[in-house]
Chains A and B, each alone.
Chain A
């Protein structure tokens, strides 16, 4: 299509300062306060990003300490108690501070409202409050280190967590605050997605990343409160001896596990679904091909969110859970494979006959698809009751969830970070370093965790400080891999930070992507758009032309020139006539809910409202 094209320059002069430079030239104190008290979702997202990368380095350091200790049987660098604290803090920091908030809170905050064409999230003050809850929670959680370090494992299982002398109370207070930060972020995003879509953007014109964040937010709002009350009860148990989880007083420690996993299994999906969302964006962009099975991917995100509430018991197969519950949870666990597989097949189908560009984000994307497949399939082994008895609490489990949490979520996070980095910093990162590191992450990761599958299946228990010498070779391979991985990621972070000064200026659309954020100036100004947004057909790259390397522009067909109606730049899905217009640029493929002529949508049809 689009035989006749007319250049529509997106790159007009930008009159407003970008969000990073709003206060340029003001005194230092004003500039610092302008960040600390900002209500701009991009700045809040940037602060999240800074905190999360710091936590990533802390959690990574603990991981390397754990791996170093396991280099040889017996004591290598630290004694048993210290080792317990290392793996606990590695787990707690990585789960609560890095992976759960990584994509939704940091990248989601920065990008998601722009993808919606919204000026901000629905509740900016709540957004800032969430950030400070996160900060306080993070400080408390990491604060467990100076108080002696936590040694319960990140799962805080009772009755040990009631009895241990380590500062459980500090950590649970932190987790409580982090939980509410997560709830409020999810609440904010749900309202934003419902109420701030531009006119013309129906539910099925949402980018898949937004769908993923929507699914994540459902779980954040409905599952995280249970974590809050669980750690609250655990805290009260510790100083008030209420006995609810204490068998000495008639309580039930397995109840704690039910409470904990009612949240923490959905939490696993809170970690992975946003990763799937960004992968769906990147895989389409870098294949120059419309995403295959858009609706299936969208629905599978939602169905994963719903299924996540039904399978928590598979963490408790050997915890004394009843046989009936074991069987039901095992059966339900396999259903999770369906939406997960739908996504993988659709990604692979998107790649098929695509014009694949192997930019750094795409390398991470391809890593993700492979690693997620391995992680997902090994999960099926663990869902089988009989096999789980053998594999439970071995390195097989460790390898499985690292393939999902790290090999998938963290890799997706790194890919997404590279993908949107030019948009929100205005600088291109160093492509060669990026590619080398992406490859380093992939190989380092597999070297770390593939041997763990082997030794896990041979019986090496997780969380052990000492081990039989026959596992030594696997541990050493794993440790070498961990260092390759750690160095790659460290270099990645440093390279990204260095690009603030050394990177060349980024254009509006370096990747030729189709979603709305690439229409905004780079970096975006305070309210993201300086002119009315134009909703083009999503994942259609026909009109996008690479004018020079990493600079893409949209050349629309003359006969379907977007008609701009002057008015409010912040157009929302509401029946308000003055709003900007949504345009489907291909008359043969009209987007649902839009007029096929590409003209203004009659104000009597508010597409967003219909589906609420």
Chain B
């Protein structure tokens, strides 16, 4: 439970977060929010923009979990609990997408007709 981080104090029955850690985490989160907004304004291509936004979100979420939620200093089992939930959610997403990713836009009343494109134009590149 006790950490080797010299910033950390162990007090009473649980880890006490130090002020530099708290403020540093909060500041970094705010900074990353700014970065993610700015990154959207630059056109890297739709999927790369999405990747950047998600990567920043994951970093932000990790900071919240590790420092605000004390998971870095907490029992390892709590990490297991949280990761199990993420894993279950990932299975949920993965299997559902595995199915619906295969959808054919076929008119079931007339299987010989060509697949129906989704109505509306596809977005232009970028």
Chain A–chain B contact at Cβ < 8 A: yes
Tell whether B100 is near chain A: CB-to-CB under 8 Å.
Answer: yes
Q: Which residues of A contact B103 (CB under 8 A)?
A: 322
Question: A323 interface residue, CB < 8 Å from B?
Answer: yes
**Chain B stretch 76-113: residues in CB contact (< 8 A) with chain A:** 76-77, 84-85, 88, 91-92, 95-96, 98-103
How far in angstroms is the closest Cβ of chain B from A400? 23
- State A368–B84 Cα separation when bound (angstroms): 32
Given contacts A222-B84, A612-B75, contact A322 B92 (CB under 8 A): no
Given that A310-B95, A313-B95 are known contacts, is A255 also in contact with B88, CB under 8 Å in the complex?
Answer: no
Q: CB of A252 within 8 A of chain B?
A: yes
Instruction: Select B88's contact among A194, A309, A321, A325, beta carbons within 8 Å.
Output: A309
- Known contacts A226-B92, A262-B92; is-contact A322 B99 (Cβ 8 Å): yes
Residues on B with C-beta less than 8 A from A316 are 99
Residue of B nearest to A329 (CB): B95
Q: Is the interface of B mostly helix, strand, loop or mixed?
A: helix
B95 shortest CB reach to chain A, Å: 7
Given contacts A612-B75, A612-B77, contact A309 B91 (CB under 8 A): yes
Assess whether A322 is in contact with B100, with CB atoms less than 8 Å apart.
yes
Which residues in A have their C-beta under 8 angstroms from that of B101?
322
Chain B residues whose C-beta falls within 8 Å of the C-beta of A321 in the assembled complex: 99
Is the beta-carbon distance between A324 and B99 smaller than 8 angstroms?
Answer: yes
Interface residues on A, range: 20 to 34
Contact of A324 with B96 at beta-carbon distance under 8 Å, contacts A222-B84, A612-B77 already known: no
Q: If the complex has contacts A222-B85, A612-B75, A612-B77, are A325 and B91 also in contact, measured as CB distance less than 8 A?
A: no
Closest to B102 in A: A322
Total A-B contacts with CB atoms under 8 angstroms apart: 47
Residues of A within 8 A of B102 (CB): 322-325
Chain A stretch 209-228: residues in CB contact (< 8 A) with chain B? 218, 222-223, 226
In the assembled complex, A258 has its CB within 8 A of some CB on chain B: yes
Whole-angstrom CA separation of A325 from B99 in the bound complex: 5
Expressed in whole angstroms, the minimum distance between the Cβ of B120 and any Cβ of chain A is: 11
B contact residues around A312 at 8 Å (CB): 95
Q: Which residues of B contact A258 (CB under 8 A)?
A: 95-96, 99
Q: How far is the CB of A548 from chain B (nearest CB, A)?
A: 46
A328 and B98 contacting across the interface, CB-CB below 8 Å:
yes
Q: Report the Cα distance A218→B81, complex, angstroms.
A: 10
A254 sits at the interface (CB 8 A): yes
* Best-surrounded residue of B77, B95, B100 (most CB of chain A within 10 A): B95
Distance between Cα atoms of A323 and B77 in the complex (Å): 38
A366-385 at interface with B (beta carbon < 8 Å): none
Contact B91 A310 (CB under 8 A): yes
Interface residues of A in 230-259 (CB under 8 A from B): 252, 254-255, 258
Q: In the complex, what's the smallest C-beta–C-beta distance from A186 to chain B, in angstroms?
A: 12
Contacts of B98 in A (CB 8 A): 322, 324-325, 328
CB distance from B22 to the nearest CB of A (A): 27
Q: Is the CB of A255 within 8 A of B96?
A: yes
Q: Are B100 and A255 closer than 8 Å at their CB atoms?
A: yes
Name the 7 nearest CB pairs between A and B, nearest first.
Answer: A322-B102, A325-B99, A612-B77, A222-B88, A258-B96, A322-B99, A324-B102
Interface residues of B (CB under 8 A from A): 75-77, 84-85, 88, 91-92, 95-96, 98-103
Given A313-B99, A322-B100, A322-B102, 7 additional A-B pairs, CB 8 A: A226-B92, A255-B100, A310-B95, A322-B101, A325-B98, A612-B75, A612-B76
Interface CB pairs A-B, < 8 A, 30: A222-B84, A222-B85, A252-B100, A255-B96, A255-B100, A258-B95, A258-B96, A258-B99, A262-B92, A262-B96, A309-B88, A310-B91, A310-B95, A313-B95, A316-B99, A322-B98, A322-B99, A322-B100, A322-B103, A323-B102, A324-B99, A324-B102, A325-B95, A325-B98, A325-B102, A328-B95, A328-B98, A329-B95, A612-B75, A612-B77
